A and B are shown apart, each in its own frame.
Chain A
Amino acid sequence: MVRLENISKIYKNSTEFAVNGISLNINKGEIFGLLGTNGAGKTTTFSMLCGLFPPTTGEIYINKLSVRTQISEIKKIIGVVPQSIALYPTLTAKENLFFFGKMYGLPKNELKKVTEHWLKIFGLSQYADKKIKTYSGGMKRRINLIAGILHKPELLLLDEPAVGIDAHSRLEIMKELKKINAGGTTIIYTSHYLEEAEKFCTDIAIIDKGKIIIQGKPPELIKEAACSNLEELFFNLTGNNTNV
C-alpha cells in the first residue's frame, strides 16, 4: 500500500538530515506506528507522506502512485489527522465537519449521515452545534479525527492523534481507530507514547535522528531483544526516555 524508497530530507538553511535514507513497506490493513522522540523525524516523514513537500531524495508511493508526481490522485484516497487541532475555532463542530466533508466532495445527504454517525460514535452529538473553541482538549481531538475520516479514506495518516489529552479520551480514540482499521482502512500513526503503540500497532518502525533503527511487529521485536516491553526496547536502542 505504501512504499518509501530511501527517502531523505534536508530542510532549507540546514545542513543536517531531518530524515536520512528511510525505506519502508506498509501493507494494506496494517496499523503502522512510526515511533520516536520529539525531533526524530516522524512529522517530517508524515508531512512527506501527505505530499506537503517532496523528499530531497528518494521516492514515496501510495497505491503505486508517486507522491512527487501524482499527489492529486493520492489526496483522494488518504485521510489526514494532523497533530495540531486543524479546525476553525469559531465554527461549530457540525460547521467544521460539513466544510471539510464538502471539500472532500461528499454529497450533502451523505455528509449529513456520516457526520451524525461519527458524532454519535464519539459521544459528541449534543455538542454538535457548539463552537470548537468552547470544547475541551479531548473533544477537540475527537472532532479533529472525525474531520480526517469523513470520506472513508483507504489510508489514514495520524500524527500524534491523542497527544495532550487525558487517558480516558485517548483510550476511546484508539478504540475507534481500531474499529476503523477493522473496516479496511490502513493506518500510519506517529507517536512517542510507546505503551499505547505497543497495544495499538500491528507493525512499528522506530526512528532516531532521521534513521530507522528497528522495524517489525512489536511482540516479535520485544521477544528478540529479550525486553519486557516496547519502552524498554526503545531505551536500550536509543538511550532515550521517550515520554520525557
Chain B
Amino acid sequence: MYKLKASVIKEFLVLIRDIPGLIILFAMPIAMIIVVTLVQDSTLKSISDSKIKILYIDNDNDILSKSLKEGLLKSDIFEIDTAINTFSQAKKEVASGKYRIAIIIPADATNTIRKNVKPIVNNIFAPSNKKETNFKKPEIIILTDPTTKNTFRQTVISYLQTYTSKIETQILFKILAEQMEELTGTTPDLIDKPIETIVFKEILAYEKETSIKPNSTQHNVPAWTMFAMFFIVIPLASNMIHERDNGSFFRLLTIPGNYLTVLGSKTIVYLGITFLQFILMILTGIFILPLFGLPVLNLGTHPLALIITALASGLAAVGYGILVGTITETHEQAGVFGSVSVIILASLGGIWFPVYAMPAIMQKISIISPLNWGLESFYDIFLKNGNITDILPEISALFVFFIITILIAYFYEGAKRLRF
C-alpha cells in the first residue's frame, strides 16, 4: 500500500503539471458537448434559429405561389428573398453558395391545378375504363447547392412537399367551391385550412414511471461523456511512453516490487480523472447547456447506477489506455493509433450516429465497442430511468474489458523484455 500510495502521488503530480494534457482531458470535451448538443438539438429548430435564406421566384402569382410563400414565411424556418426572377440567375446564385435553396414556381401553376379539378371530379363518377389519367402537373423547381448535406436537403424538400400537398388540397377545395357556386348560385363555406382527419399521438414506451423526456441533452451528455473518457487513452499512453523514453520506467523495473503496482497507480489516478470528467459533463448538462436554450439534463432517480456506470466506463477507458501505452513504442504511434481507434470505437458504439439506424452488419459489429456498452448503460439510466439491475450486463462487460486489457498489458510487458 505504501508503494502504491507513493506511485499514486507521483502519477497525480505528473498529470497535473501537464497543462496541454489537462486541456485535452477537460476543456475539449466540455466545448465539444456544448457545440455538438447545440448543433444536434434539432435540425429544424437550429434551422429556425438561424433562418434559411430561400430564393423564391414566383412566375405563377396566384393562389399556389402566394399560399406557399405565406406558409414558408409563417413556418419561421425560412427567410424569403424575391430579388431575382430568372432561372439562370437563380442557378448562378445557388451555385455560388449565396443561397442554399431556390424555389421556382412555374407560370400558370395554379391555373393548371384549376384545370385539373373538373376531370378529377368527373373521375369520381366515371367508370374505371373511362377515367382521365393524363393530368398536366405544374413542376416546382427546387435548386439546391451541391455542398448542402443530404440530410438537410431532404428535410427541407420533405417540408416543402408536405406543405405544397396541403396547399394543393386547399386549392382543390377552393376551386371546387367556386364551381359549386357557379352551379348552385350559393356560396359554400370555404375551407381556409387544410382538413386534418388524422392526428398522431406519440407515447414513449417506458417500462417504469418516469418524468424523463428524450431530448438532445439526454442523448448527447452520455455520448460525449463516453467519448471524453476514452480520449484519456492519448495522455495516458503518452505518459507511459514518456516514462519509458526518459528511463524512469527502466529504473522502476530495477526496484523491488510488482509491475501491477505501477499499473494500479495509473489506474487509480486516471480513473479519478475520468470520474471528474463525468462530473463536469453532468454539471455542464445541468447548468451550462440550459444557458444556450437547451433542455436541462435529467439524471433519473438511480444515482448509484449512474456512479457505477461512470466508474465502469472509466475503468474500461483506463484499461484501454494502458494497453495502448504498452503496445505502442512512440508518441506518434500512440497518438495516431489511440485517437483513430477511439474514433472508430465511438463510431461503432453509436456516439455520433445511433446504432439502430446503422446497416445490419454494422449493428452486429457495434457490440464489440466498449463505448457502446457504456452508452447503453447511460441511456438505460438517462432515458429509461433504469436501475442497477438494468445496467448489470453492460457494466459487467466494461469491467471484464478492463481486466482483460490490464492482463494483456501486464503479460505483454513481461514478454517484451524476454523477447530482447
> Are both chains from one complex?
yes
Chain A residues proximal to chain B, CB less than 8 Å: 11-12, 50-54, 72, 75-76, 78, 80, 82-91, 95, 98-100, 102-105, 131, 147-148
Least distance between B61 CB and chain A CB atoms (Å):
74
Given contacts A53-B417, A103-B7, contact A147 B251 (CB under 8 A): yes
Which residues of B246-260 are within 8 A (CB) of A? 246-248, 250-257
Q: State A95–B13 Cα separation when bound (angstroms).
A: 9
Q: What is the predominant secondary structure among interface residues of chain B facing chain A?
A: helix
A75–B255 contact, CB under 8 A?
A: yes
Give the number of residue pairs across the A-B interface with Cβ within 8 Å.
82
Given contacts A86-B247, A91-B13, contact A103 B252 (CB under 8 A): yes
A91–B14 contact, CB under 8 A?
A: yes
A interface footprint on B378-420 (CB within 8 Å = 1, 0 otherwise): 0000000000000000000000000000000000000001111
Measured between beta carbons, the chain A residues less than 8 angstroms from B6 are 98-99, 102-103
Least distance between A14 CB and chain B CB atoms (Å):
10
A80–B251 contact, CB under 8 A?
A: yes
Measured between beta carbons, the chain B residues less than 8 angstroms from A86 are 246-248, 250-251
A105–B3 contact, CB under 8 A?
A: yes
Across the two chains, which residue of chain A brings its CB closest to B256?
Answer: A75
A99–B10 contact, CB under 8 A?
A: yes
Q: State A75–B256 Cα separation when bound (angstroms).
A: 5
A to B CB contacts below 8 Å, 13 in the list: A11-B420, A52-B254, A75-B256, A78-B254, A80-B254, A82-B247, A85-B246, A90-B17, A91-B13, A95-B13, A103-B7, A104-B255, A104-B256
Q: State A87–B5 Cα separation when bound (angstroms).
A: 18
Least distance between B225 CB and chain A CB atoms (Å):
28
Interface flag for B9 (CB, 8 Å): yes
Least distance between A233 CB and chain B CB atoms (Å):
32
Measured between beta carbons, the chain B residues less than 8 angstroms from A80 are 251, 254
Measured between beta carbons, the chain A residues less than 8 angstroms from B253 are 50, 52
Least distance between B24 CB and chain A CB atoms (Å):
16
Measured between beta carbons, the chain A residues less than 8 angstroms from B62 are none
A53–B251 contact, CB under 8 A?
A: no
Least distance between A107 CB and chain B CB atoms (Å):
9
Q: State A54–B419 Cα separation when bound (angstroms).
A: 10
Across the two chains, which residue of chain B brings its CB closest to A9?
Answer: B420
B246–A87 contact, CB under 8 A?
A: yes
Most buried by A among B6, B243, B254, B257: B254
A103–B420 contact, CB under 8 A?
A: no
Interface residue from A53, A89, A91 paired with B10 (Cβ < 8 Å): A91
Known contacts A12-B419, A98-B6; 11 additional CB pairs below 8 A are A52-B254, A52-B417, A72-B256, A80-B254, A83-B247, A87-B247, A90-B17, A99-B7, A102-B2, A102-B6, A103-B3
Interface flag for B18 (CB, 8 Å): yes
- Interface range on chain B (Cβ under 8 Å from partner): 20 to 34
Measured between beta carbons, the chain A residues less than 8 angstroms from B418 are 53-54
Across the two chains, which residue of chain B brings its CB closest to A107?
Answer: B2
Q: State A211–B257 Cα separation when bound (angstroms).
A: 33
Across the two chains, which residue of chain A brings its CB closest to B261?
Answer: A103
Q: State A34–B10 Cα separation when bound (angstroms).
A: 34
Given contacts A75-B255, A102-B3, contact A84 B250 (CB under 8 A): yes
Chain B residues proximal to chain A, CB less than 8 Å: 2-3, 5-7, 9-10, 13-14, 17-18, 243, 246-248, 250-257, 417-420
Q: State A4–B143 Cα separation when bound (angstroms).
A: 84
Interface residue from A53, A72, A88, A103 paired with B246 (Cβ < 8 Å): A88
Measured between beta carbons, the chain A residues less than 8 angstroms from B2 are 102, 105
Least distance between B2 CB and chain A CB atoms (Å):
6
Least distance between B104 CB and chain A CB atoms (Å):
65
Across the two chains, which residue of chain B brings its CB closest to A151?
Answer: B255
B251–A100 contact, CB under 8 A?
A: yes
Q: State A87–B250 Cα separation when bound (angstroms).
A: 10
Q: State A72–B255 Cα separation when bound (angstroms).
A: 9
B257–A53 contact, CB under 8 A?
A: no
Measured between beta carbons, the chain B residues less than 8 angstroms from A50 are 253-254
Measured between beta carbons, the chain A residues less than 8 angstroms from B254 are 50-52, 75, 78, 80
Least distance between B367 CB and chain A CB atoms (Å):
37
Measured between beta carbons, the chain B residues less than 8 angstroms from A104 are 255-256
Least distance between A130 CB and chain B CB atoms (Å):
13
Q: State A147–B255 Cα separation when bound (angstroms).
A: 11
Q: Nearest 10 A-B pairs (CB), nearest first?
A: A86-B247, A84-B247, A102-B6, A53-B420, A86-B251, A75-B256, A80-B254, A90-B17, A99-B10, A103-B255
B13–A90 contact, CB under 8 A?
A: yes
Q: State A204–B5 Cα separation when bound (angstroms).
A: 41
Across the two chains, which residue of chain B brings its CB closest to A72?
Answer: B256
Across the two chains, which residue of chain B brings its CB closest to A75?
Answer: B256
Measured between beta carbons, the chain A residues less than 8 angstroms from B10 are 88, 91, 95, 99
Least distance between B348 CB and chain A CB atoms (Å):
35
Interface residue from A11, A87, A105, A148 paired with B248 (Cβ < 8 Å): A87
Q: State A52–B252 Cα separation when bound (angstroms).
A: 10
Q: State A98–B251 Cα separation when bound (angstroms).
A: 14
Q: State A105–B253 Cα separation when bound (angstroms).
A: 14
Least distance between A187 CB and chain B CB atoms (Å):
15
Q: State A110–B254 Cα separation when bound (angstroms).
A: 21
Measured between beta carbons, the chain A residues less than 8 angstroms from B419 are 12
Measured between beta carbons, the chain A residues less than 8 angstroms from B420 are 11-12, 52-53
Q: State A100–B420 Cα separation when bound (angstroms).
A: 26
Q: State A82–B248 Cα separation when bound (angstroms).
A: 9
Q: State A105–B257 Cα separation when bound (angstroms).
A: 9
Q: State A61–B9 Cα separation when bound (angstroms).
A: 35
Measured between beta carbons, the chain B residues less than 8 angstroms from A76 are 256
Most buried by A among B14, B18, B248: B248
